[in-house]
Amino acid sequence: MNSLLIFADVSSKLDPTDYVGFTFFVGSMAMMAASAFFFLSLSQFDTKWRTSILVSGLITFIAAVHYFYMRDYWFSNLESPTFFRYVDWLLTVPLMCVEFYLILKVAGAKKSLMWKLIFASVVMLVTGYFGEAVFMSQAALWGGISGLAYFYIVYEIWLGGAKKLAIAEGGDVLKSHKILCWFVLVGWAIYPLGYMLGTDGWYTSIIGTGSVDVVYNIADAINKIGFGLVIYALAVKKQAVHS
Ligand SMILES: *C/C=C(C)/C=C/C=C(C)/C=C/C1=C(C)CCCC1(C)C
């Protein structure tokens, strides 16, 4: 009911130069299409890979629902839907940490690895929310703390325990792990850039201001859908080896 209303509501206000609205719209459709793709492919995988694909679908599905809300919020208020944005991330980023654990489970990954990554991601997002929505005059400080948690995640997967497990497993798991690591190093680095465009700090005189939402929306499409497709490709390859 609610989502039908959202569909009906927005079209009357669409403005061709509203890039934020445009990327919210395209983003919501892309997330929905990706979710359908992952969910409908589930039956082709055996139980060992099904969980990974299910989580890929959950990530894009949770994002799709949030994008409907964010899109509506944007069209009604022409303001960043920061609250929905961070709720979305708080649910989906820990699930991406779960994905790292799931693909490394074959190499003997322990739950503690997963919890370490989840904990760091929650610290990264909560402190980011503080800077962007609560203590806005200290955005640079909170963004810096958030950045430390981000670098911890980068360290753990590129050089720490996760990396060792990926090397021990080798083959397609190592290759996919490496691609996911690039997503985190390059794809996730787009977010702090958006944050700096939308908040005031020492960086403002260097990079100026801009639309946070366009940057976040592009980053989300790359990171949520692309990340899921890497997992999907790995599952397809592993499945072909076994059957
Ligand atoms: C699907 C959503 C994803 C992958 C979101 C990722 C978000 C980040 C990596 C955010 C990082 C931030 C910093 C590293 C510093 C400034 C504050 C944040 C939260 C934007």
By the 8 A CB rule, do 100 and 162 touch?
yes
Q: What is the mean pLDDT, run by run of 10 residues, along the chain of 243 residues?
A: 50 75 95 98 93 97 98 93 98 97 94 97 98 97 98 97 96 96 97 96 91 96 97 92 60
| Total-model pTM | 0.92
Q: Which domains does the chain have, with CATH numbers?
A: 2-241 (1.20.1070.10)
By the 8 A CB rule, do 20 and 72 touch?
no
Please report the pLDDT score of residue 240 as a whole number: 78
Please report the pLDDT score of residue 242 as a whole number: 58
Q: Ligand 1 pocket by C-beta < 6 Å: which residues? A: 89, 92-93, 124-125, 128, 143, 146-147, 150, 188, 191-192, 195, 220, 223-224
Centre of ligand 1 from the C-alpha of residue 188, in Å: 6
Residues in the chain: 243
The pair phi, psi for residue 143, each rounded to 5°, is: -60, -35
Q: How many CA atoms lie within 13 A of 115 on its CB side?
A: 3
Centre of ligand 1 from the C-alpha of residue 38, in Å: 24
Q: Which residue from 191, 207, 217 has its CB within 8 A of the most atoms of ligand 1, so it is best to mutate?
A: 191
Please report the pLDDT score of residue 1 as a whole number: 44
Enter the tokens of residue 198: 């939308």
